[in-house]
A and B are shown apart, each in its own frame.
Chain A
Amino acid sequence: MTKREIAYQVALLFIIGVVVYLVAGTTQGNLARLGVDSSIDFLWKRAGFEIGQKLIPFDANSTIARAFVVALLNTLLLAAVSIICASILGLAIGIARLSDNWLVSRLAAGYIEIFRNIPSLLQIFFWYFVVLRTLPRSSESIGFFNCIFLNNRGLFIPSVSFGQGWPWIVAALLAAWGMVYFLRRQERRQFAAPALIRPDTRRLNPLASWNLLILAGIVGAIVLLAGAQLEIPRETRFGYRGGIVMMPEFLSLVVGLSMYNATYIGEIVRSGFTSIPRGQTEAADSLGLPRRLTIRLVLFPQALRVIIPPLTTVYLNLFKSTSLAAAIAYPEVVSVFVGTVNNLVGQPVFIMAITMAVYVFISLCIALFLNWYNRKIALTVVT
Chain B
Amino acid sequence: MDMTSIKSTCLSGMVLLVFAAWQAAGAGTLEQVRERGKLRCGIVESSPGFSSIDDSGQRVGFDIDHCKTISAAIFGDIRIEYVPVTPHTVFTLLQSGEIDIFPDGATWSFIRDVSLGLDYTGVYLYAGQGFVVRRDTEVRSLRDLDGATICIAQGTTLEQNIADYFSANGMAYTPVTFADIDKGLQAYYADRCDAFTNERLSTAGRIANWPDRDEHLILDEVISKEPFAALVRQDDPRWRDIALWSFNVRFAAEEFGINQDNVDTVRENSPNAEIQRLLGVHGGFGEKLGLSNDWAYHIIRLVGNYNDMWERNFAPLGVKRGLNASWKDGGLHSALPFR
Contacts and interface: CB of A to CB of B under 8 A. Distances in A.
A–B proximity contact (CB within 8 A): yes
Interface of A: 48-52, 59-61, 133, 137, 152-153, 236-239, 241, 247-249, 326-329, 331, 335-336, 339-340, 343-344
A335 B149 contact: no
Given A60-B167, A153-B149, A137 B178 contact: no
B191 A152 contact: yes
20 contacts: A49-B160, A49-B163, A50-B162, A52-B177, A60-B160, A152-B191, A236-B147, A237-B137, A238-B148, A238-B194, A239-B194, A241-B147, A326-B179, A327-B179, A329-B151, A329-B177, A335-B154, A336-B177, A339-B154, A343-B156
Interface string B147-161: 111010011100110
B28 interface: no
A241 B156 CA distance: 30
Nearest to A59: B167
A49 B159 contact: yes
Most buried by B among A49, A331, A336: A49
A353 B154 CA distance: 21
Contact of A331 (B162, B163, B177, B190): B177
Contacts of B160: 48-49, 60, 344
Interface residues of B, number: 29
Given A50-B166, A237-B137, A247-B176, 17 more contacts: A48-B159, A48-B164, A49-B159, A50-B174, A60-B163, A61-B167, A133-B190, A153-B191, A238-B149, A239-B149, A241-B147, A248-B192, A329-B187, A335-B177, A340-B155, A343-B154, A344-B159
Given A238-B137, A335-B177, A60 B192 contact: no
Contacts of A335: 154, 177, 179
A109 to B, nearest CB: 35
Given A60-B167, A152-B192, A327-B179, A340 B149 contact: no
Contacts of B194: 238-239
Contacts of B183: 329
A152 B190 contact: yes
A216 B192 CA distance: 39
B163 A50 contact: yes
A269 to B, nearest CB: 36
A95 B176 CA distance: 39
Nearest to A239: B149
B193 to A, nearest CB: 8
Which among B164, B173, B177, B190 has the greatest number of chain A C-beta atoms within 10 A? B177
A52 B156 contact: no
B175 interface: yes
Given A49-B160, A59-B167, A61-B167, A339 B190 contact: no
Contact of B175 (A50, A153, A328, A344): A50
A237 B145 CA distance: 10
Given A60-B163, A343-B156, A133 B192 contact: yes
A328 B154 CA distance: 12
A248 B174 CA distance: 14
Nearest to A61: B167
Most buried by B among A60, A329, A331: A329
Given A137-B191, A241-B147, A52 B154 contact: no
A339 B192 contact: no
B154 A153 contact: no
Q: Is the interface of A mostly helix, strand, loop or mixed?
A: loop
Contacts of A237: 137, 147
B175 A51 contact: yes
A161 B59 CA distance: 60
A247 B187 CA distance: 13
A70 B175 CA distance: 14
Contacts of B151: 329
A340 B177 contact: yes
B154 A340 contact: yes
Interface in B184-233: 184, 187, 190-192, 194
Nearest to B147: A238
B174 A329 contact: no
Nearest to A134: B190
Across the A-B interface, the 3 shortest Cβ-Cβ residue pairs: A60-B163, A49-B159, A48-B160
A107 to B, nearest CB: 32
B139 to A, nearest CB: 9
Contacts of B162: 50
Given A49-B159, A153-B149, A339 B179 contact: yes
A152 B134 CA distance: 15
B237 to A, nearest CB: 28
A312 to B, nearest CB: 31
A61 B166 CA distance: 12
Contacts of A52: 174-177
Contacts of B147: 236-238, 241
A249 B159 CA distance: 19
Nearest to B173: A50
Contacts of A51: 175, 177
Nearest to A129: B190
Nearest to B186: A129
